[in-house]
Structure 1
Amino acid sequence: MKRILIGFLLMLNAGILSAQKAHILTTEKLSKYVNYFNSIDDEAVKNHVPNAQSLEWLSQNIPLFDCPDSAIQEVYYYRWWAVRKHLKQTPEGFIFTEFITQANHAGKYNAISSGLGHHIYEGRWLLNQQYINDYINFWLYIDPAWKVQRFHAFSSWIDDAVYNRYLVNKDKSFIEKNLLTLNADYSKWEKEKMNPDNTFWQFDVRDAMEESISGGRKEKNVRPTINSYMYGNAKALSAMAALCNNDSLKRKYDKKASFLRDFVNDKLWDDTASFYKVQYEKGGLCDAREAIGFIPWYFNLPKDKAKYADQWKSLTDTAGFNAPWGITTAERRHPLFRTHGSGHGCEWDGAVWPFATSQTLKGLSNLLNNYKNQDGMNRQVFYNEVHKYAMSHQMNGKIYLGEYQDEKTGEWLKGDNPRSKFYNHSTFADIIISDLVGLKPRPDNKLEINPLLPQNQWDWFCLDKVLYHGKIMTILWDKTGEKYGKGKGFRVFADGKEIAKSNGLKKIKAKI
């Protein structure tokens, strides 16, 4: 409770309570959703915040969201409600679990690191950041001292996630405190998984993507996953080193990032297939296109050339990754698609995984935000995929989140397995906040918003109570001005004061 009090006092200092009077949205809709979610849950496991206290906790911690797409809005609140279930208080601080029940391969306190990057990206929008502070601290200091370490049991983009969290909260002291530990952790990855040519290998199971077409539990393949993660980590460590005025460390990671970018673009790219692929340990590229080939875009790794953007055609191709219930993890045309069984293990040979969907959507967002060559991709494609992702959150007519799904029927392939309920292994709220609404965190004192919502898709939406750079932001679109009573157009408020506006739904910047 002491940590909670400290976090609350920090919020006071940030002026949050004074800004509450300026909120446009109330918790009325949140309350209705929470009451429904609680009513269909048997609450077999209770962690730090039980269902009875969920409304209070969510009201104090999450940004509020209002939109005319009922599926997206409901899932937005459901995902926060489910994340709250995984918040666990331990004698050594707060953590977030992945499975709601005890997992055999978990470490101390049932912690698993495979979804860590997703957890940090999602959790960076919580008003009280003590939870994420503790969680990162657990993986950097508590787990490595435990008798059976689990941090490196799975590939990780922790450095990238930590830096992108900093871009939201601007907590420089946290970066200064942990920079050298993060640097040491990167070096540990190099000792464990680096080839003599400075590339990285990984078993598919240690990418948390076992039973894949391209990989194996004992095959040391050079994969787009870990090489992209380590590129993203190197870029982030360079930026954090610059923030801390550590020039030598910055130069070190600039060099590593440059090498990995060239390697992935030159050696993991298949010109014939127009796709990033796995390179086998024995040499040569796998003949399958897999969703992991989109991961380089998550970190803005590809060069801005038409040949790389051409890869995205496969996303909307029904022989590629486009299926009725989501983005498949392997191309549907491949002869080994969905051949490893169904629900017997954790098959990544084509089934729909929210983990991969989150990564692919972030990659597509980066393409639309940061690249000139977009090869037919646009806001409508992005919105359609987000809506499809939201619609996939169901089982037997009720809202649900599990591990992975049949691409044609939407069946959760683990069934209603207790371990799979509320599976905390992906993002959704972050995609709505940072990509669909388009709040793009920056290191300077500017607010940048670039909505990926198609023109004329919605007449209104509002994202409210977003803590960004110490201020509470409200972002709203009101085509007629009648929905929220703040006037027509696209408007942005900081602590209740309007700082930017536009007649149309387009990219906007403002000083804060």
Structure 2
Amino acid sequence: MIRSYTIGLCLIILFSSCAFTQRMTAANANRSVLQADSFQHFVDYFNTMEDENIKGAIPNDSSWQWMKANIPLFECPQYNFEEIYYYRWWTFRKHIIKTPVGYAFTEFLVPRTYADKYNLIACALGHHIYEARWLHNQQYVKDDIHVWYRGKDGKPMSKLHSFSSWTMNAMYNLYKVNKDSAFMTDMLPDLETDYARWENEKRLPNGLFWQTDVKDGMEETISGGRHEQNARPTINSYMYGNAMALSKMEALAGNKDKAALYNAKADTIKQLVNQYLWNSTDSFFETAKKDMQSANVREEVGFIPWYFNMPDEKYNVAWNALMDNKKFNAPFGIATVERSDSAFRTHGCCKCEWDGAVWPFATSQTMTAMANLMNNYHQTVVNKTDYFDLLETYVESQYYRGRPYIGEYLDDSTGFWLKGDAERSRYYNHSTFNDLIITGLVGLRPRTDDIIEVNPLIPENTWKWFCLDKVMYHNKPVTIIWDADGTKYNRGKGLSVWVDGKKVAFAAHMQRLEAKM
């Protein structure tokens, strides 16, 4: 069991979080559209769903006060979207632990034999950073990064490279939210060393990167195996994303030569991925075997390149497979393998299947990539209805026996959680959800300049109203409102964006908005 901390420590944590939140002035607080206490009933219910046998830094009896001090508020007319939004923050809080070297995020609540010190696992570190960047108190996510890179006597944790990682990309996207250049610059030497280590460990002679299935966090797949060293769309997309992130970080730090170097590394990976991993027959990015011949199987990992905005627009044809019921669009989520493949659901190892079953880890990657496709590319392959339908299915899948639940993976046809009764699977911190609500559905698109950009990926006639409130973005409180007839929030009809209590952009319809912060 994860160690239970004392009430005194919890009070200190809560005081710290509340003190941070109090930096928002009383005037800003009075401008809030949503009242936090309106959502406490969700947490009261979640707390009754279990006998809390495992406690982290913030136990259940302190969970609402912590959430009230730390999370953006979200309201919409569809109850299950609201419920899962608050449930995912409630579960994320369960995974915050206090180590001797700072706060950190676990993946499993129960100890795992293959974990690092403090029961930490690096597989979902990128997901953790993307989700935690929206917490008001940024100490949690900064500490987690420090623990991983400096938690072993000032050096990286022993198992930082046990799994493929897009950590550098996640850290740059953290900067897009908090604009903490001092933290980013301080971490640059660690990240440079880390990138070079990946090159030494995993780069093939042709310049691509290899990985085994299990070290991609994906057990045994149709395209490879637990011990096969293949060039996969996963690690190569991650390394492209990491190189691009380092290039931009170096540029912001004034290191022009290093910025050019990492940009060149990224460009090389992109060209090699196009050359070796694009299967022109299948119109899809696929795993290449040791001989660089395609594995000839469409797997969900083929959408990952768009997570990092890597492909050129001519490759957008790959997304035709997403909404096809014979390919990836299953009744209960996005299948990890094309459903019509002859080997579908045949390669599951140790009852941990990445051969077609639905994994939230992969779903959240694909949904992030899809939002990038819809925001950053000229395309007509997918639309807002597609995005909303997939996100709604993701919401509906996060229930087990009538209660909110997030676990490891589920049956694509029945929605049954395949390890739902296993203690290890409860509250599995291996995916994002709230980041998808904020950056995808509501459409706050983080960027480094002083322009706030909002582009909701929801069909205009789906909901008459919604509100995302108390978002800390570039150190200012942001509110995004959709009110079709203006009667719900009494702040005007249509879509509006508010920064520090002032309306900075509005439109009569659901569309992209941009304004100066």
TM-score exceeds 0.5: yes
For residues 164 and 147 of structure 1, do their structure 2 counterparts lie closer, same or farther at Cα, with a shift above 3 Å needed?
closer
Partner of 2:170: 161
Partner of 1:106: 115
Return the alpha-carbon distance in structure 2 between the equivalents of residues 328 and 299 of structure 1. Answer: 21
Letter in 1 for 2:204: N
| Contact preservation (8 Å) 1:3, 1:130 | no
Q: CA deviation at 1:309?
A: 1.4
Partner of 1:178: 187
Return the alpha-carbon distance in structure 1 between the equivalents of residues 477 and 142 of structure 2. Answer: 20
Return the alpha-carbon distance in structure 2 between the equivalents of residues 374 and 268 of structure 1. Answer: 24
For residues 4 and 141 of structure 1, do their structure 2 counterparts lie closer, same or farther at Cα, with a shift above 3 Å needed?
farther
TM-score by length of structure 2 reads 0.95
Q: CA deviation at 1:211?
A: 1.2
Q: Which has the higher contact order (CA 8 A, sep 6+)?
A: 1
Partner of 2:484: 479
Gapped runs of 5+ residues in structure 2? Answer: 1-8
Q: Say whether 1:498 aligns with 2:503.
A: yes
For residues 6 and 61 of structure 1, do their structure 2 counterparts lie closer, same or farther at Cα, with a shift above 3 Å needed?
closer
Partner of 1:382: 387
Return the alpha-carbon distance in structure 2 between the equivalents of residues 85 and 196 of structure 1. Answer: 43
2:271 corresponds, among 244, 262, 279, to 262
Q: CA deviation at 1:180?
A: 1.2
Letter in 1 for 2:434: A
Deviation string 1:50-95 (CA, Å, 9 cap, x unpaired) is 1111000000000000001211111111000000000101111000
SS of equivalent to 1:35: helix
TM-score by length of structure 1 reads 0.96
Letter in 1 for 2:244: K
Return the alpha-carbon distance in structure 1 between the equivalents of residues 421 and 26 of structure 2. Answer: 41
Partner of 2:44: 35
Return the alpha-carbon distance in structure 2 between the equivalents of residues 314 and 29 of structure 1. Answer: 41
Q: CA deviation at 1:487?
A: 1.5
Partner of 1:284: 293
SS of equivalent to 2:248: helix
Q: CA deviation at 1:18?
A: 4.0
Partner of 1:393: 398
Q: How does 1:128-167 map to 2 (within 5 A)?
A: 128-143=137-152, 149-167=158-176
| Contact preservation (8 Å) 1:224, 1:277 | yes
Deviation string 1:33-65 (CA, Å, 9 cap, x unpaired) is 001111112212011111111000000000000
Q: Say whether 1:347 aligns with 2:356.
A: no
Return the alpha-carbon distance in structure 1 between the equivalents of residues 494 and 292 of structure 2. Answer: 55
Q: CA deviation at 1:29?
A: 3.5
| Contact preservation (8 Å) 2:335, 2:412 | yes
Partner of 1:57: 66
SS of equivalent to 1:498: strand
| Aligned alpha-carbon RMSD (Å) | 1.6
Return the alpha-carbon distance in structure 1 between the equivalents of residues 302 and 336 of structure 2. Answer: 10
SS of equivalent to 1:195: coil
Which stretch has the larger CA shift, 145-154 or 117-126?
145-154
For residues 181 and 8 of structure 1, do their structure 2 counterparts lie closer, same or farther at Cα, with a shift above 3 Å needed?
farther
Return the alpha-carbon distance in structure 2 between the equivalents of residues 429 and 144 of structure 1. Answer: 34
1:331 corresponds, among 324, 338, 342, to 338
Q: Say whether 1:422 aligns with 2:427.
A: yes
Partner of 1:209: 218
Return the alpha-carbon distance in structure 1 between the equivalents of residues 126 and 25 of structure 2. Answer: 27
Letter in 2 for 1:68: P
Q: CA deviation at 1:17?
A: 4.9
| Contact preservation (8 Å) 1:367, 1:374 | no
Q: Say whether 1:115 aligns with 2:115.
A: no
Letter in 2 for 1:357: T
Q: CA deviation at 1:181?
A: 0.9
Q: Say whether 1:460 aligns with 2:438.
A: no
Residues matched between the structures, number: 507
Letter in 1 for 2:166: W
Partner of 1:232: 241
* Identical residues among aligned pairs (%): 48
Q: CA deviation at 1:126?
A: 0.3
| Contact preservation (8 Å) 1:24, 1:464 | yes
| Contact preservation (8 Å) 1:143, 1:151 | no
Deviation string 1:109-150 (CA, Å, 9 cap, x unpaired) is 000010000000000000000000000001111158689711
SS of equivalent to 2:504: strand
For residues 379 and 16 of structure 1, do their structure 2 counterparts lie closer, same or farther at Cα, with a shift above 3 Å needed?
farther
